[in-house]
Structure 1
Amino acid sequence: MVQKTRLENGIRVLSQHCPNTHVVSVGIWIDSGSRDELPSMEGITHFLEHMFFKGTERRTTRDIAVELDILGGMSNAFTTKENLCFYGKVLDKNLPRLMDIFCDILLHARMDERELEKERFVILQEISMVEDTPEDYVHTVACEKFWKGHPLGHPICGYRETVQRFRREDILKFKDQIIHPEQVVVSAAGSVRHDELVEMVNDGLGRLRANGRGRPPRTSPEPVVFRDYIRKDLEQTHICLLMPGVSLHDEERFAVYILNIVLGNSMSSRLFQEVREKRGLAYNIYSFLHCCEDTGVFGVYAAVAPEKLAECFKVIWNEMEELIAGGVSETEISGAKDCAVGGMYLNLDSTDALMNRIARNEFLYGHEVAPDEIEKKIYGVSSENLGKWFARVFPDRVSILVVGPSDKQQVDLVMKV
């Protein structure tokens, strides 16, 4: 059972005690991500994430690294489209020390000019790394085109021109804006006593006050249908198909979860079996579903030999057509449901996954969502649910991006579909 306490300043503290373990996972979450950045400030959330670990009034950059390593667990941070989080997993006896470090970097990060310049170079290298990784590059460009003109389409790392422009005062002003008590959630799972966790958070963050208005109100994007080819000197050609997906509040999301498993998100899926196992056209082939609080994207990705582009694309397209024309058998649906439910419960054995789940449920729904409630929704999905939803997005709302060295004839066969 998840326990919840709201501090006087508005910070929410949530925890779930897990018996038979000596470890605890904890995260400090901010309800603001890259989609909340203003124009010309793309990438500043991710930049701030890096700068949190670059020294405080009490600790140098090295002190933070050494103290975290001494705890014997793991710690890290990440930025998503909708959240910023730093988290760790340690022995229960080391939780107070970890929380002291986390509270210190949240409140007292120095944002030193020299560290900022070093980290700027590091982030520019991170952007270059994405561009040098074809799969990451294709997804990044496809997302930009699909949500053109909307912050959800911007890469989380930002752009070279924006990262090069950020100054210390920009970072500090942005930090004050988003570190708003009402937007902070501390979640923990494992060997943790809720009252002790509340005391730690209150001691460390209880004096935090709002210095800004918090993140601006979010607006929903309108997906763009596009067809594009980017010629790039690569060993393979990469295909990415995108369609409007579902949000994390959409009741149809459970049907789309199952559709994703059936189409390409499992080894027994139609695409994996037909494209890879039967025809040997691609090593990497899958479908994917990314959901946000108010929108989402559903798609397919494959990497193929340049001369096999048109053939592979035709197989993918035919399999999607067959989903509507022939439907999905009860055997397929039943197996996909078992796969989804089994994966969910296996995930709940991880204190990291539980900690993540607790925070995300709080941000999205304001309360715990019981696993058996989700299980019931999944097992309630029918073949008709899948077909009705997919027919609304395929084929009329499919966007296509091809990146690689395939010749014009191969590309034209794809774009004319």
Structure 2
Amino acid sequence: MYKKHTLKNGLTIIGEEIPYLKSIALGVWINAGSRIEDESISGVSHFIEHMMFKGTKNRTSKDIASEMDNLGGQINAFTSKECTCYYVKLLDEHIDKGIDILSDMILNSNFDQAEIDKERSVILEELKMYEDSPEDLAYDMLVENIYKDDKLGMNIIGTVKSLYDINRENMLEYFNDYYVPNNSVISISGNFKFEEMVEKLESKFKDWKSKEVNLDINEAKFNSCFISKNKDTEQVNLAMTLKAVPADNIEEAYALAVINNIFGGSISSRLFQRIREERGLVYSIYSSQALYRKIGEFGIFASMSNENLEEVYNLIIEEIKKIGKNYLTNEEIHASKEQLKGSYILGLESTSSRMMSIGKDMLLGKSVKTTDEILECINNVDIDTVNRVIDKVFNLENLGVCIVGRDVEKIIL
């Protein structure tokens, strides 16, 4: 059972007590990601994430790392399209240190100019790393084109130009606009007493000043596209995406999760069985969903030899048409629901995954479902909803395709 408390400054704390464990995972979530950035400072959310580890008024960057390492704990962060999260996982007896470090990072980071310049080089190397990964490159290029008129299409890391354009002044302006308590959530999972945890967090974060936050999230327009990029690789990487349902449409989001399992989300799925197991054309093929506020994507990804590209692509298109025409059986839907429930329950054995789930839901959805409510949502997926979602999603009029590999610009599929 989750407990929730909101401090006077608007900071929401949500936690789940699991007394039989010996660890605690705690995350500080900020409702700011690449989707709200101006193009001129694309990548600033991710840049700030890096800078939070580069030293505070009380700690050097080495202090932050060594204090956590010396306790056998973990500290990390990530930036996504819609949020940024800083988190620790520690033995329950060491959680005070984790809270002290995270609060110090959030409230007292230096943003030292020399460190900004140094970290800019680090992030440029990170950008090159992703560009050297053909699978990541294919997806990034695809997203950039399907959302070419929206900030959702911007790379989370940014571009070479924007990374050079980001300076300390516009970084701090962005930080001060969005890193405020009423735009944030702290989520905790593990062995703790909620009321005691609220007191600990309030003592650290009570002086964090709130301010009005303007978040303008518009529905992104989905643009169909077919793009390619020559890259000297042994395999061709194929990324495809169909326009899907948004995260805030709960009923249809759960239905799409059921459909995804059957279509390409597991080793028993249609794509995996037909294209890998029966035909032996690929090693890697799968589908997944990326659901955002007001829009979503249903992605299909595969890697193969150049000579197999056309056949693999055509087989995927066949499967899209087939599910759009014949839908799914009640037996398939039932089996997929059981698979989803099993995967969900197994995931609950990790305090980190629980903390991530409740934190993101509270930040972006303003509410958190209990385990029983989530299982009920899965159980309530019916064939009518599934058919409605198939009609919406498996529509080739809303299809984006990107291929990356050797001599692919000559290929017309």
TM-score, normalization by structure 1: 0.95
Provide the residue aligned with 1:104 in structure 2. Answer: 104
Tell me the CA shift for residue 3 of structure 1: 1.1
Q: Is the 8 A contact 2:19 2:192 kept in 1?
A: no
Deviation string, structure 1 residues 319-367 (Cα, Å, up to 9, x no partner): 1211123322333222211111111111112111111122122123323
Alignment of 1:238 with 2:237, yes or no, is: yes
Q: Is the 8 A contact 1:248 1:291 kept in 2?
A: yes
Quick one: which amino acid aligns to residue 24 of structure 1? I
Provide the residue aligned with 1:186 in structure 2. Answer: 186
Provide the residue aligned with 1:59 in structure 2. Answer: 59
Provide the residue aligned with 2:25 in structure 1. Answer: 25
Tell me the CA shift for residue 184 of structure 1: 1.4
Alignment of 1:405 with 2:406, yes or no, is: yes
Deviating above 4 A after TM superposition, structure 1's stretches of 4 or more consecutive aligned residues are: 406-409
Tell me the CA shift for residue 38 of structure 1: 1.5
Provide the residue aligned with 1:365 in structure 2. Answer: 365
Moved more, 383-392 or 313-322: 383-392
Alpha-carbon separation, structure 2, partners of 1:65 and 1:307: 48
Q: Is the 8 A contact 1:46 1:157 kept in 2?
A: yes
Alpha-carbon separation, structure 1, partners of 2:213 and 2:120: 25
Q: Is the 8 A contact 2:31 2:82 kept in 1?
A: yes
Provide the residue aligned with 1:45 in structure 2. Answer: 45
Alpha-carbon separation, structure 1, partners of 2:354 and 2:64: 26
Alpha-carbon separation, structure 2, partners of 1:295 and 1:407: 30
Deviation string, structure 1 residues 354-408 (Cα, Å, up to 9, x no partner): 1112212212332321222222222232344333322334222122222222567
DSSP 3-state at the match of 1:40 = helix
Q: Percent identity?
A: 33
Quick one: which amino acid aligns to residue 370 of structure 1? T
Alpha-carbon separation, structure 2, partners of 1:245 and 1:49: 29
Tell me the CA shift for residue 84 of structure 1: 0.8
Provide the residue aligned with 2:314 in structure 1. Answer: 314
Tell me the CA shift for residue 194 of structure 1: 1.1
Alignment of 1:76 with 2:82, yes or no, is: no
- Distance change >3 Å, CA 397–CA 193, structure 1 → 2: same
TM-score, normalization by structure 2: 0.96
- Distance change >3 Å, CA 227–CA 348, structure 1 → 2: same
Q: Is the 8 A contact 1:307 1:406 kept in 2?
A: no
Spell out the pairing of 1:326-365 with structure 2 (5 A cutoff).
326-365=326-365
Moved more, 383-392 or 3-12: 383-392
Tell me the CA shift for residue 242 of structure 1: 1.1
DSSP 3-state at the match of 2:204 = helix
Provide the residue aligned with 1:390 in structure 2. Answer: 390
Alpha-carbon separation, structure 1, partners of 2:135 and 2:17: 39
Provide the residue aligned with 1:378 in structure 2. Answer: 378
Provide the residue aligned with 2:272 in structure 1. Answer: 272
Tell me the CA shift for residue 204 of structure 1: 1.1
Alpha-carbon separation, structure 1, partners of 2:217 and 2:41: 16
DSSP 3-state at the match of 1:282 = coil
Alpha-carbon separation, structure 1, partners of 2:326 and 2:106: 54
Q: Is the 8 A contact 2:5 2:14 kept in 1?
A: yes
Tell me the CA shift for residue 279 of structure 1: 0.6
